[in-house]
A and B are shown apart, each in its own frame.
Chain A
Amino acid sequence: MARITAGIGTSHVPAIGAAIDHDKTQEDYWKPLFDGYMPAQEYVAKNTPDVAILVYNDHASAFSLELISTFLLGVADYFPPADEGYGPRQVPGVEGHPELAWHLAESLILDEFDMAIANEMPVDHGLTVPLSITCGQPDAWPFKVIPLCVNVIQYPQPTGKRCFKLGQAIRKAVESFPEDLNVAIYGTGGMSHQLQGERAGLINADFDNAFLDDLTANVDRLVNIGHMEYLRESGSEGIEMIMWLIMRGALGEQAKEIYRHYHVPASNTGAGLIVLEAA
């Protein structure tokens, strides 16, 4: 059977991708951030999954206000990098895993999680930057990827509790897939940041570090953080952290922390990374 072995939480700031793509990772501004990513890259290199379910959000790239889906699974066998106005990132295209993706879609919908399904979509920095952070610059990504796209732009975003429960349902669905696959799950976005308004630039390192602590120490607290608390305490875009709760839910009751890194700033964002294993 397939099993979820590891969970990775990471920010997906576009400037991090640009720093990698333009060879700036050793500059003074970026070096402390990228030095902290190396142990996670080593972990992924030693524990390379067959497939990763990558929870992220689209930033008005594949989708627009024309159609807003709360949870969407990509079931294609290939996802091209999106053009976000600078030309597509020069990174490998993303190979999907249609068999497991369809199994997830069917299992989740029958389990009362009403997923939207995409056969064609480009993937933007929300998906490709976490791959760059954890895999470096390979000629091809070392595992297949199932994109799970969450609406975090249009209020109301799904609740953290709903995200956590979706993660639990994903674990169940993966374990009912007959093929013997090692599956990792990424929760991406955050941590604290606000891009808009007079409060732009807000960072709350205390909130972020407590969030990292409680991914193992007190998941119940995180699951019960509501919209107002995210918006107020972690900035209007900090609410992306709900996507980490899908990852955490998919690891089961107990999770073990393997590694973490936190650095301010990456552009306008408190950048966090955590590697967890299902315990």
Chain B
Amino acid sequence: MDKNYHDIPGTYVFDGTQNRAGYHLNMFCKSLDVEANRDAFRNDPDVYLDRYPMTAEQRKAIEDRDWLGMLQLGGNIYYTFKIAIFDQVSMQAVGGMMSNMTEEEFRQMMVNGGRSVEGNRSKSEGN
């Protein structure tokens, strides 16, 4: 299987490898769709996280709200964003935290037309 998408900079393609690595992390995120689960997580995060057999790194990434780390450990943005909804944090704030910008800087970049594809296509080609 051709995995040349690893050549795209700053992009974590959610393939089978990522799915397997991140299954429990993502299913924890999915559980936050249910109000009772959100309450339980809010009341005692440690006990709630114990329900999901994650790695220590994954658990720490969740605790630290390390959005990039979660992706690197198998998280998928549509799942990890459920933690942002729980925290009442916007997609643009999360986008900023993943790309080393403030929410306002990120928002302004979008208003100015977004992040250019120029220079962001390929690690090997550098274009």
The interface of chain A, by Cβ under 8 A from chain B, is: 15, 29, 59-61, 64-66, 83-86, 153-156, 192, 194-205, 207, 227-228, 231-233, 236, 264-265, 267-268, 270
Q: Which residues in B have their C-beta under 8 angstroms from that of A65?
A: 19, 23, 26-27, 30, 79
Interface centre among A86, A204, A205, A264 (most CB of B within 10 A): A204
Please list 7 pairs of residues, one from A and one from B, whose beta carbons are closer than 8 Å in the complex, sorted by A's number.
A60-B30, A65-B23, A199-B9, A200-B99, A207-B117, A233-B117, A268-B114
A160 smallest CB distance to B (angstroms): 16
B127 smallest CB distance to A (angstroms): 10
In the complex, B12 has a CB within 8 A of chain A? yes
A198, B98: Cβ atoms closer than 8 Å: yes
Q: How far is the CA of A194 from the CA of B120 in the complex (A)?
A: 12
Residue of B111, B116, B121 touching A232 (CB-CB under 8 A)? B121
Size of the chain B interface, CB-CB below 8 angstroms: 48
Given contacts A65-B23, A194-B11, A205-B113, contact A60 B98 (CB under 8 A): no
B19, A154: Cβ atoms closer than 8 Å: yes
Interface centre among A59, A155, A197 (most CB of B within 10 A): A197
A60, B14: Cβ atoms closer than 8 Å: no
A228, B110: Cβ atoms closer than 8 Å: no
B13, A231: Cβ atoms closer than 8 Å: yes
Q: Which residues in A have their C-beta under 8 angstroms from that of B100?
A: 198
Closest 8 CB pairs of A and B: A203-B114, A198-B10, A199-B10, A85-B85, A200-B95, A196-B77, A201-B115, A265-B110
What is the total of A-B residue contacts with beta carbons within 8 Å?
A: 136
Q: How far is the CA of A270 from the CA of B71 in the complex (A)?
A: 23
Nearest residue, chain A, Cβ from B95: A200
Nearest residue, chain A, Cβ from B15: A155
Interface centre among A66, A85, A192 (most CB of B within 10 A): A85
Nearest residue, chain A, Cβ from B3: A155
Q: Mark B5-26, 1 if CB is under 8 A from A, else 0.
A: 1001111111110010001001
A196, B11: Cβ atoms closer than 8 Å: yes
Q: How far is the CA of A203 from the CA of B116 in the complex (A)?
A: 6
In the complex, B61 has a CB within 8 A of chain A? no
Residue of B9, B19, B23, B82 touching A198 (CB-CB under 8 A)? B9
Interface centre among A65, A196, A199 (most CB of B within 10 A): A196
Q: Which residues in A have their C-beta under 8 angstroms from that of B58?
A: none
In the complex, B33 has a CB within 8 A of chain A? yes
B112 smallest CB distance to A (angstroms): 9
Given contacts A59-B78, A265-B110, contact A200 B86 (CB under 8 A): no
A200, B5: Cβ atoms closer than 8 Å: no
B92, A267: Cβ atoms closer than 8 Å: yes
Q: How far is the CA of A29 from the CA of B111 in the complex (A)?
A: 9
